Every structure is written in structure tokens, then in C-alpha cells.
């Protein structure tokens, strides 16, 4: 991606202070600035870097004030963070490929759009699959029979999407994630063995979802496992059968959600959280890292922490008390001696 400073400013609705004709062809951190690089500054913590940066241009908030001269060209925008995100999106689009590489396999009954699609080498697209406009399927991805993928979705290398699953538009699925593998359904038998319960449902991923690498989202026993619009899943997350994740919920790495649990909208879940099955979690819940969710959460917009979870304030209070237990134990020993 290459553009002059004034061109970027016009696109972002910004105002240039300095040389608007500098040609920018890379993106860089403000502390690692390059003469033809674009950087940004929104956090005052990094303000000191702007006075010495070698970046060609820096995006800043419109109301940012400087108390020393700056050699870099400044682009003032309403929100520097959002503007820089828009630039990164454009740079990413420029990196994406189009066309069909060989060797790959596309079943004769599959429907693949001719508009902007990329199919990488060694990708597999199964019977009656439907691939929308501008979809990018990277090498070694597997798209099973009857899978549907909406417009502008990106499926990175090594992703496996099993049969009958539905993927929306503007979805990003990172490398080696598996969608639609069997749920963990095994019925104990009198002799101590297990009988596998057939998993005949599917997975539905709605629009604008991003899923990190090495996640596993199991198909439903029957019906659907559902990831609602706008959800963000980090790397290394396990979503079990018949789970439902509500709109715009974000879940950090190494979290596991057991079967048939329903997590509400706008929730935030820290890393390594465990959910038992068959519970509901209220909208707006915030759950701290390494918590164990062992019961229903009915009250919305509340912070939780601990294993088992409790209100965040109570959990922190108990944690402080636990640290004092050795001292209290010694006090009790002294009291017993005196008695």
C-alpha cells in the first residue's frame, strides 16, 4: 500500500500539519519510526516518543497538544486509534490474493462465486458447498459438504469446516481451527464402556465474527451450536455442543464452555475460564481470568471472579484474607497455649 500524506488525510477526514506530499509505504510503531512510515498516537503514555520519532507521518487526536516542536508530519483526526485501524484494514486487503491455485479440489456440485474469490493450493471444497463473493480460502483448508460461507469471509490455512455448517459474511477464521467436529456425547453402559451418541446437528456462525487459531467448535447433538453476530473468540478456545454465544461477546484464550451453556450478549470472559454445562449467563457479565462458572448468572452487567465464581469485590476480599491465614494460624496456636 502506498499513498501520499494528504491523500490519507482526505480519506480519513483529517487535517495535515507539515509536508502533505510525503509518500508513505509502510506502517510502523511510533518508537520505531521510518521516514516513509505511518504511525499513530492516542495514548498519552507514549507522548514522549513523538518528539523524536523518525516516522514520516503520525495520526493523532484532533485535540492533542504538544509543548515542543515535532519533525514528523501530523495528521489530526477525530479518533487516531480508529483511523489507524482503518488504515490497517486497507493494508490487509491489499495483501489478500484472488484466483484459484492448483492443485486444489472443488467438487462439481459446489457453487463458488467468480467475484474476488481466492482458493489456495491443496484446499478442498466439498459437494454442494456454497462460497460467496470475495471469500478467501487459504491453502490446506477443508470445506465440507453442504457448507455455506458468506461474502468477504476469510478462512486461513489448515481450517477444517465439517459438513452442513453455516458461516456468515465478514467472518475471519484463523489457522487450524476446527468447526463442526462431533460434540462430546458418550453414554455410560452397564459394563463400564461408553456408547457414542450420534451428533447430527451443525454449527452456525453469524456475521462479523472473528475466531482465533486452534479453536474447536463442536456441532450440536441436534439443532445448532450458535456463535452470534460480532463475537470475538481468542486462540485455543473450546466451545462444546449446543452452546450459544450471544452478540458481541468476547472470550479470551484457553476458555472452555461445556455443552448447552448459553452465554449472553456483550459479555467479557477472561482467559482460562471454565463453564459447566446447561447454564445461562446474563448479558453484560464480566468474568475474570481462571474463574470457574459453576452456576447460573442471572444478574446482568456484573463482575465475577474466582472458582467457584462470586462477586468480584467479595472474591478480592477473600483473597486478601487467605494471605493472612498463616499469621492467623500462629495467633490461634498462641491462644491455645495460653488456655
Distance CA 327, CA 86 (A): 55
In angstroms, the CA 123 to CA 227 distance is 24
- Please write down the long-range contacts of 95-101, taking CB distance under 8 Å and 24 or more positions apart: 96/136, 96/154, 97/136, 101/139
Judge contact between 61 and 77, C-beta under 8 A: yes
The residue among 85, 97, 96 whose CA lies nearest residue 38 is 85
Task: For residue 297, give the DSSP letter.
Answer: B
User: Which residues are catalytic, by number?
Assistant: 241
Q: For residue 74, what is the enclosing H or E element?
A: strand 73-77
Parallel, antiparallel, or unpaired for β 268-269 and 238-239?
Answer: unpaired
Instruction: Name the architecture of domain 99-315.
Output: 3 Solenoid (2.160)
Alpha-carbon dihedral of residues 91, 92, 95, 98, nearest 10 degrees?
A: -130
pLDDT of the residue at 324: 83
Q: Could you give the CA distance from residue 287 to residue 18 in angstroms, rounded to a whole number? A: 46
pLDDT at 327: 87
Q: Domain ranges for the chain, please list them.
A: 3-95, 99-315
Q: Terminus-to-terminus CA distance in the chain, angstroms?
A: 81
Q: Decide yes or no: CATH 3.40.1390.10 for domain 3-95.
A: yes
CA-based nearest residue to 160, from 179, 147, 184: 179
Question: What 3 state SS string does 39-68 have?
Answer: EEECCHHHHHHHHCCCCCEEEEECCCCCCC
Question: What pLDDT is stored for residue 300 in this prediction?
Answer: 97
Pairing of strands 310-311, 303-305: antiparallel
Measured at the alpha carbon of residue 78, what is the angle toward residues 19 and 252, in degrees to the nearest 5?
A: 115
Report whether 46 contacts 30 (CB < 8 A). yes
C-alpha to C-alpha distance for 315 and 118, rounded to whole angstroms: 50
Residue 321 pLDDT: 81
Residue 211's DSSP bridge partners are 173, 233
Q: Which residue has the cell 490519507?
A: 8
Place of cell 515535532: 70
- Integer-rounded Cα Rg, in Å, for the chain is 26
Q: Which helix H or strand E contains 172, and what residues bound it?
A: strand 172-173
Q: What is the rounded CA–CA span in Å between residue 143 and residue 167?
A: 11
pLDDT by residue for the chain (339 residues), tens only, comes to 689 999 999 999 999 999 999 999 999 999 999 999 999 999 889 999 999 999 999 999 999 999 999 999 999 999 999 999 999 888 877 677 889 999 999 999 999 999 999 999 999 999 999 999 999 999 999 999 999 999 999 999 999 999 999 999 999 999 999 999 999 999 999 999 999 999 999 999 999 999 999 999 999 999 999 999 999 999 999 999 999 999 999 999 999 999 999 999 999 999 999 999 999 999 999 999 999 999 999 999 999 999 889 887 888 888 788 888 888 888 888 888 887
Tell me the backbone φ, ψ of residue 187, rounded to 5 degrees. -90, 125
pLDDT of residue 298: 96
Amino acid at each position: 500500500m502506498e499513498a501520499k500524506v494528504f491523500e490519507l488525510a482526505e480519506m480519513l477526514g483529517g487535517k495535515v500539519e507539515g509536508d502533505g506530499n510525503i509518500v508513505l509505504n509502510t506502517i510502523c510503531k511510533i518508537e520505531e519510526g521510518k521516514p516513509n512510515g505511518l504511525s499513530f498516537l492516542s495514548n498519552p503514555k507514549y507522548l514522549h516518543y513523538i518528539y523524536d520519532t523518525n516516522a514520516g507521518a503520525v495520526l493523532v487526536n484532533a485535540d492533542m497538544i504538544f509543548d515542543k516542536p515535532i519533525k514528523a508530519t501530523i495528521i489530526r483526526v477525530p479518533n487516531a486509534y480508529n483511523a489507524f485501524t482503518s488504515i490497517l484494514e486497507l493494508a490487509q486487503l491489499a495483501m489478500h490474493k484472488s484466483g484459484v491455485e492448483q492443485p486444489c479440489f472443488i467438487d462439481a456440485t459446489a457453487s463458488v462465486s467468480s467475484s474476488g474469490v481466492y482458493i489456495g493450493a491443496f484446499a478442498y471444497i466439498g459437494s454442494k458447498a456454497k462460497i460467496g463473493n470475495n471469500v478467501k480460502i487459504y491453502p490446506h483448508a477443508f470445506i465440507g459438504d453442504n457448507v455455506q460461507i458468506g461474502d468477504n469471509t476469510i478462512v486461513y490455512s489448515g481450517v477444517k469446516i465439517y459438513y452442513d455448517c453455516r458461516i456468515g459474511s465478514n467472518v475471519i477464521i484463523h489457522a487450524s481451527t476446527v468447526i463442526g467436529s462431533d460434540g462430546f456425547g458418550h453414554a455410560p453402559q452397564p459394563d463400564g464402556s461408553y456408547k457414542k451418541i450420534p451428533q447430527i446437528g451443525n454449527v452456525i456462525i453469524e456475521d462479523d465474527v472473528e475466531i482465533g487459531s486452534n479453536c474447536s467448535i463442536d456441532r450440536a447433538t441436534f439443532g445448532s451450536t450458535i456463535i452470534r453476530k460480532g463475537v470475538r473468540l481468542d486462540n485455543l478456545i473450546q466451545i462444546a455442543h449446543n452452546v450459544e454465544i450471544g452478540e458481541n461477546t468476547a472470550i479470551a484464550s484457553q476458555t472452555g464452555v461445556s455443552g448447552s451453556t448459553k452465554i449472553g450478549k456483550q459479555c467479557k470472559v477472561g482467559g482460562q475460564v471454565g463453564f459447566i454445562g446447561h447454564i445461562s449467563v446474563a448479558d453484560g457479565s464480566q468474568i475474570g481470568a481462571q474463574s470457574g462458572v459453576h452456576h447460573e448468572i442471572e444478574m446482568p452487567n456484573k463482575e465475577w471472579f474466582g472458582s467457584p465464581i462470586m462477586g468480584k469485590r467479595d472474591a478480592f476480599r477473600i483473597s486478601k484474607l487467605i494471605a493472612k491465614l498463616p499469621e492467623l494460624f500462629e495467633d490461634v496456636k498462641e491462644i491455645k497455649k495460653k488456655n
